[in-house]
Copies of this chain bind each other. A is one copy, B any other.
Amino acid sequence: MDKQKQQNLEKKGWKIGSAKEFLNLSEESSSYIELKIKLSSNLRKLRTERKLTQVELAKIIKSSQSRVAKLETGDPSVSLDLIIRSLLALGTSNKDIARTISS
């Protein structure tokens, strides 16, 4: 992960770690962030494929438009739990989720 990418993430509010680690985000953190980004991108893909608006998706997952936006833009305030439960609510199978993570 290069400096630019890291700075973008930090701007978004991701806690990257100490100054010491600034230039080499731990494998652990970056894998976690990558995971979330992959899954939330997939969520947006699914939603748009089905021609749903964020408002409509929000209703399905019993949340709000603003949280759906945060889900899809990878806001750090969003948990993996919510991302995955949203995918499941759209009918995604565990195997599909695994495929997304591997992609």
**Hey, which bits of chain A sit against chain B, CB under 8 A?**
27-28, 31-32, 34-35, 79-81, 84-85, 88-89, 93-95, 97-99, 101-102
CA distance A32 to B94 in the complex (A): 8
CA distance A88 to B35 in the complex (A): 11
Rounded to whole Å, the gap between the CB of A53 and the closest CB of chain B is 21
Does B102 contact A31, Cβ atoms closer than 8 Å? no
- The majority secondary structure among interface residues of chain A is helix
**Given A28-B89, A89-B28, CB of A35 within 8 Å of CB of B79:** no
Which residue of A27, A28, A99 has the most chain B CB atoms within 10 A of its CB atom? Answer: A28
Closest to A29 in B: B88
